[in-house]
Chains A and B, each alone.
Chain A
Amino acid sequence: MTGSILFEAIVFLGGALICVPIAKRLGFSSVLGYLFAGILIGPYLLGFVGEEGEDIMHFAEFGVVMMLFLIGLEIEPKNFWKMRRTILGMGGLQVGATMLLTYLLFAAIGFEWEVSLTVSMAVALSSTAISLQTIKEKGLFETTYGASSFSILLFQDIIVIFMLGLLPLLSNTGEVTEADGHGGGGNLLESLPLWLQTLAIILSVAAVVAAGRYLIVPMLRRVATTRVRELLTASALLIVCGIAFLMELVGLSPALGAFLGGVVLATSEFKHELESTLEPFKDLLLGLFFMAVGASINFIVIGNAPLMIGSLLVAIIVLKAVVLFIVGMVFKLKLDQRLLLAIGLAQIGEFAFVLLSFAFQLHILDQEQMDTMLVITALSMALSPILGIVNERLVLPRIGTKQVEKRAVDHIAKTHKVILAGFGHFGSTVGRFLRANGIEATILDQDSNRVDLLRKMGFDVYYGDATRMDLLESAGIAEARILIIAIDDPDAVADLVAMVMKKYPHVKLMVRAKNRYDAYELLNMGAEHIYRESLDTSVKLAVDVLHQLGFRKYTLHRQAQKFIKSDEESVKRLAGLRRNKEEYIFKAREEIELQEKFLEEDLQRGFIVNDKDWESEQMRVAFGGVEEGE
């Protein structure tokens, strides 16, 4: 519409700001919000974005690169090595079977074998961006579903290199018209013999590993000593760009290289700095990417052959899902995990855009075939989150680990109804202690493996997201006396507190808070019983330190009790103060100010000095100082 970069920025950012909150409000993942924002601003609805949408997509694919770098950071090399079997096995099986079936399907429809093979390669790949983002948002990374998805996606990232290498061999013309500037094209090594190419690839991978150890970490150390924060941001971006560039140069997938770089840096001391620095960039770029996908859905192509595209779309999604389901079966995933996997990876991924346009340049596909496949790819990506919701809301509750399992309710459970949301590290301790005292809490948890175990141990467990009101209601929130909220995610905790306080005000809420900051939020929402996980333990540690330094234990014990009590009072008081002020923009600045207030209060109180208990000083003075204590 207009070439101004500012205007484009406004369109994309505005679209995101309008659509994503709506999607979140409706309980959908942000991916869906971005996709709809893209469709909305795209050429066929509002028309703010035209052909340049595709360029933006290529730019935004960099978000995927960053995402894999960040994922790499989370995986230590030893764990990566442990995963090799699932990566090769699950990934290989999924890609192989999907390609075979797709090839047969397209060949049967009557496409030439080169076309069918190209399409089958594109179809075999799933969208790392969509599936991993969804898994992360739902906090399912630790489940078998999360790990399996990740393994398969990683395998696809590796295999795509070979696919891009294979495409020129399929080309009828046998020549590459031009380097296409991304993905498989534009690589320096094309003219070299195969063994040299292979050598270069191995060398560049080795270069990434070596650079991680001997170049990047020393560089980061030096940067850290300058104490200029933006330099760290710059170096983080430089690392990712550098790796991506190197990988493109030798014809490898930049995402794969970035992942490798991440793994190498996972053990370095800069892991968390890098994560927090790159996270916002990644999120924005991914958002941009999803919007670009939405904008690229060509409604004219759809309009020309709606039936053909519709049925191909359905056929492909079903085919991919069935293959994934079988892969899950072979690798012994539980039914619900298997379904999540099947639906989660059933879309065609962003690599398809690269493959398809590369194949078009090689004249393997004609314009119409490419357009059709691009539309199907984009549509499958847009459908993916919707299918996920259908699966989660309508299918999963009925099968596998059931949301509810009927069991006889004894009298105590009825009259002393306690619901425990979240049975992780925190909640499990709470639940075990309750049970040790004969109180059986009704548990809500969203890890199906854990749910099964707990059921085996005789707990009354509801499987699913505790912030869903319908689940809470079926767990009996209406008759509950106490709801213990031991969920890890502070935002989910706040949501749950607000929801229950509004609808079931009679239920007593006992809430886990990560830190002082969360405690303020909860206090200001009106929650009374707040348990900061960082309070008691750290005081206990300090007590032990002082004991090591020669203080007597009982004195320390009493001081610790006083300290905890006054700390809790301070939090309550300061939470009130905070409400009156305008909203803080910078969390960090607020933390510092509060810290300062706490330290001041401590000074005024002067703990040890005021401890006169069991002291005879006063009396000795009164009696003329004759006695040596009582």
Chain B
Amino acid sequence: MAEVLSGLRANRSSLPQVVVAGVGRTPFGRLPGHDAASLGQWALSEALADCGLVHGDIDGLILNRIGDYQDFARQCGIDPRLTLTTPPHGRFSGVCIQAAVAALQTGQADRVALVYGNDGQSAGMRYAAGSYDAEQGGVWFPYGMTSPSAFHALMMRRHMHLHGSTEAQLGAIATTFRGHAALNDAAVMREPLSLAQYFESPWVCEPLRRHDHCLINDGGVAMVLTRAEQARDLRQPPVAILGVGQASSLSDSAFPPEDFWAGAMGAATRDSFRMAGLSHADIDALMIYDNFTPTVLFALEGAGYCPMGRAGPWVEEGHLGLGARYPANTSGGHLSESYMQGWSLQVEAVLQLRGAAGARQVGNAAHVHYLAAAPVCTSIVYGRVQR
């Protein structure tokens, strides 16, 4: 058995290298007159133009938050040999990329388009109560319990109790990412945010304030993935997907996880680092799923960037800012750039490794780590390709 396993592992490293060939985005903000599918179509056209491919080149289609794959493909005039539709959960951007990597490595597709669209602002999406995918059928609604915001507030309150984390540490995350967004023309929220202004922002679900929450806006993102040997002649320098990992904490997930998802986040990170042959020391920038500020703390602890329970003081020390050791969410993230449920962070990782991030460029960035702490944790290691 051990021989079989080691054989599989050896074979794994000999699989073809998957790269990001193109990325595309719509503007972010309020985009009336569009639905999720049309925003996705717009982004896909941008991604194809970015790499110099056309719709007919696409033979794999992975949709996220766009419900009707048939209508989408019909409108785009494509006949993929791999089709996958995924639910509108933010944690699924990493899941989709992992699926695309596997399909490309095994030859089940040659050029996969990953397409995401979100008309949440124009549609008046609230992420709570009846309009939201009811938690356990709404059985907790009589107690007023609803929303991912409250779920993260409950997690954070317990983190504060166990580890002494503070509101000011959450404020440090919000203000740092806003500072990054100020350097990003595409960001929705670019006005500077001071810690005092953070503390003035109203409670939504204590201990979380409005500035601890992601934005709700419209937009679309698309990526085109292929194998390295097929990307040589494309328009943009390819960016390698060196490692991917996924682990979950789905049992008992109706309640806050006792380990703040650290077990799954750690497992996903280790798998992706092993596949990439890299470790924390090799990483130049982080893209951390920031639906709420506490999620950043949970991701950092789970992935092992700091000891369990110490992420609060660690972020307060300033390690996530541009110019620091681990610049994070250099686009502004979900908190200040755009709530594209992980997808715009993937694009930012690509732009950083192309050296195309403008005023917010991380100097000589070679490896970027995307990480998402959630009931399904994902970890992706991106790498610069020399050509």
Task: Note whether A and B form a binding pair.
Answer: no
Chain A interface residues (CB < 8 Å from chain B): none
Chain B interface residues (CB < 8 Å from chain A): none
